[in-house]
Amino acid sequence: MRDEFDICVIGGGAGGGVAAFALAQAGYDVVILEKGPWLTEKDFYKDEIACCRRRTYVPDLKDEPHVIETREEDDQPWRARPTPGSGWDFWNGNCVGGSSNFMSGFFHRLKPVDFQLRSSFGPIEGANVVDWPISYDDLEPYYAKVEREVGVSGRIVPHPQLEPRSTPDFPYPPTREHPIAGLIDASCKKLGYHSIPTARAILSQPAMGRGSCSYNGYCGSYGCATGAKGGARAALIDRAVAGGRCEVRAHSMVARLVSDRTGKVSAAEYFDKNGVRRRVTARVYVVACQAIETARLLLRSTGPRHPQGLANGSGQVGRNLLFAAGGAGSGRLSYRKFGESLHEFGTFVNRALLDWYVIDDPEFGPRQKGGTIDFVHAHPAPIARATSQLRRGGRLVWGAELKRNLEAHFREGRDVKIEAFCDWLPHDDCYVTLDPRVKDKWGLPVARVRVDFHPHNLQVGWYLAEKGARVLKELGAEDVVSFAVGSPPTNLQAGGCRFGKDPKTSVLDPDCRAHEAENLFVTDGSFMPTAGSAPYTFTIYANAFRVADRIKAQLGGSRA
C-alpha cells in the first residue's frame, strides 16, 4: 500500500473535499483519510428510521462519545456528562462527503459587513468579537467558483442587502417552487419587505455527470439518491478520484499527526478498518474534521515543538467554538382556507428575508448585526410529525384525541416554518478540550465540549423570528408562533482554530496555515473567528478553494 503523497487530507467533508479536488486537479497526488464509510447514491434512501431513528450515518455514542459541560444558571457549577446519557449528539454525517451529504443546501454568501464586525459595530461585553484578516473581496471570486463547481441553482433579484458579485446570476436556474412561495412574496410586498429566492446547492437540471433534483420532499437530513445535492462527495471527491490523482481511504481514523523537531508535520498515523495502526507521509497536511474533531485531533497531536498540542502554542486551539444562533417559528396553513394547491409535495419554498441583516431600529437599540430569515416546509418525515402531536397544552394525549390530532395534522393542512440565523458570538465559555478520563473505542481521549451562549444571541434571534412571524400572520396562517433558544443546533459547528495575523491570539494565519507548522492547513469551518448569519457550508467551500490556491503557491504552482 502506498504511503507517500503530496497532500494528506484528514476528513472528507466540505473543507477536505474542496482541498482534495482542487489540488488533485492541479496535478498533486492526494490521499483522503476519512473515518467513516464511502457511501454513494445507491446507499441513500428516504427511510426515516435509518436516517433519523437509528445511527446509520453517524457513530454509536457508546463507541465514540463526547463529554458535554453545561450549567443551568450562570452562578451554578458546570456539569460534565458523556453524550450517551446527556441527550446531546455532535456527530454529523461520518462518511465520505461528511455532513454535506445531508445538508438542506441553503447557500447564502456572507456579506462585506461580516468580515468587519468589530470595526462596524464595536465590542460587545463578554464576547470575543474580532475582524477577519481577509475581506469579502478576497473571498468573492471563490464564492463564484463554488457556484460553478458545486452547482448552485437560484435567481438574483435586486434588494437592499445584495452583496457585490462578479457574476450576474447563478449558473443554474432555480429549483421548482411550491405555491407557498408566491403567498410569501405577496405578504412581504404588503409589509414593505423584500423577499428573495433562496439559492440552493441542488441542481435543477442534470450537469457535471450528476442528476437533477427528483423533488421527493426528503432533502435536509437525508442523502441524495440522484446526485443533485452539492455535497462534497457527489460534487467534488468523485471527480477528483476519477481524475486519477486522488485516493480515498475510508474507515481510516487518524490517531495523531506526528511532528518533527522543527515543528513541521512529518506523518499522519491512523487506524485502518481492521484496527491496524498505519502511517502516511506528505508534503502538506490539510485538517478538515469539523470543528470539534479538528480541535480534538490537534490537541492530542503533541510533539517536540508542540507540547500543548499541534499549533497550540497560543493556547487557542479549541477556543471560541461557534454554532449558529437565531430563532424559529411556524404557522399552519389549512387546505380549507388556501385550497388544493397546498397539497403539492416535493417542491421547495425557497424564500428568504435579508432586510434585517443589519438591524437599524431605534426601538431595538443601537445599530447592530442582524441576520437571515428563511421560510421552509416542515419536514415531511412522518414519525417526527406524528410524535409532535402527542401533547396538547402541556399534557400528554392518547386514544381518540390523539387519533383526531393525527388526522387533522396530516389531512387538513400543512405547516410552514421560520428559520432565522444570526451570529453565535464567540466567548470564553464555549470551547473544546480533551477529556482526562473518557476514551473512544480506539483508546483515544474524547473531546470535552463546554457549551454556553451569549445572551445577545437570544435578543437578535427573538427579533428576527418575530419579523418572520409577521409575514406568516399577514399571509393568513393560523397558530403562528415564534421564539429563540440558547441551545445550539449541533449540526452547525465552526471556530476553534480561528485565523488571524497575530500568533498570540489565533491558531492560523490569514491563509489558514498554522502559525507554528508551515505545512499544516485547516480548511473546515474551524478557521472562522465569527459565525456570520447563514449556514456555513457555502463559506467553508469558498474558503477551502482559496486556501487550496495558497497551498499550490507554496508547493510551486500547478503541475497540471
Q: Is residue 437 part of a domain?
A: no
Strands in 154-210 per DSSP E: 195-197
pLDDT tens digit sequence for 121-178: 999 999 999 999 999 999 999 999 999 999 999 999 999 999 999 999 999 999 999 9
Same domain for 363 and 263: no
Region for residue 283 given its phi and psi (left: phi exceeds 0; alpha: psi -120 to 50; beta: otherwise): alpha
pLDDT of residue 253: 98
φ/ψ of residue 45, rounded to 5:
-140, 160
Cβ contacts of 79 within 8 Å, gap of 6 or more: 69, 70, 71
Q: Are residues 194 and 205 in the same domain?
A: no
Residue 314 lies in a domain: no
Q: pLDDT value at position 498?
A: 98
Q: Quick one: 366 and 480 in the same domain?
A: yes
Contact indicator for 124, 130 with CB cutoff of 8 Å: no
Q: Are residues 6 and 27 in the same domain?
A: yes
| Residue 56 included in any domain | yes
- How many Å apart are CA 363 and CA 483, to the nearest integer? 19
The verdict on 113 and 253 lying in the same domain is yes
Q: Check residue 149 and give its pLDDT.
A: 98
- Beta bridge partners of residue 514, listed in sequence order: 508
Query: 208 and 127 share a domain?
Result: yes
Total count of domains within the chain: 2
What's the domain range around 345? 167-198+325-423+454-487
Distance CA(459)–CA(367), nearest Å, equals 13
Same domain, 335 and 288: no
In a domain, 132, yes or no: yes
- 466 shares a domain with 380: yes
Question: What pLDDT does residue 471 have?
Answer: 98
- The answer to the question of residue 509 being in a domain is yes
Q: Does 8 share its domain with 50?
A: yes
The answer on 210 and 194 residing in a single domain is no
Give the CATH number of the domain where residue 300 resides: 3.50.50.60
Q: Is residue 462 in a domain?
A: yes
Q: Which of 326, 331, 325 is nearest to 481 (CA)?
A: 331
- Annotate 199-220 with DSSP letters as a single string: PBSB-SS-BTTBPPP---S--T
pTM: 0.97
- Pick from 462, 487, 512: which residue ends a domain? 487
Q: Which residues of the chain have pLDDT under 50?
A: none
Residue 83 within a domain: no
**Residue whose grid cell is 444562533:** 325
- Provide the pLDDT for residue 53: 85
pLDDT value, residue 544: 98
pLDDT of residue 356: 98
Let me know whether 403 and 476 are in one domain: yes
Residue with cell 453517524: 58
User: Is 364 found in the same domain as 288?
Assistant: no
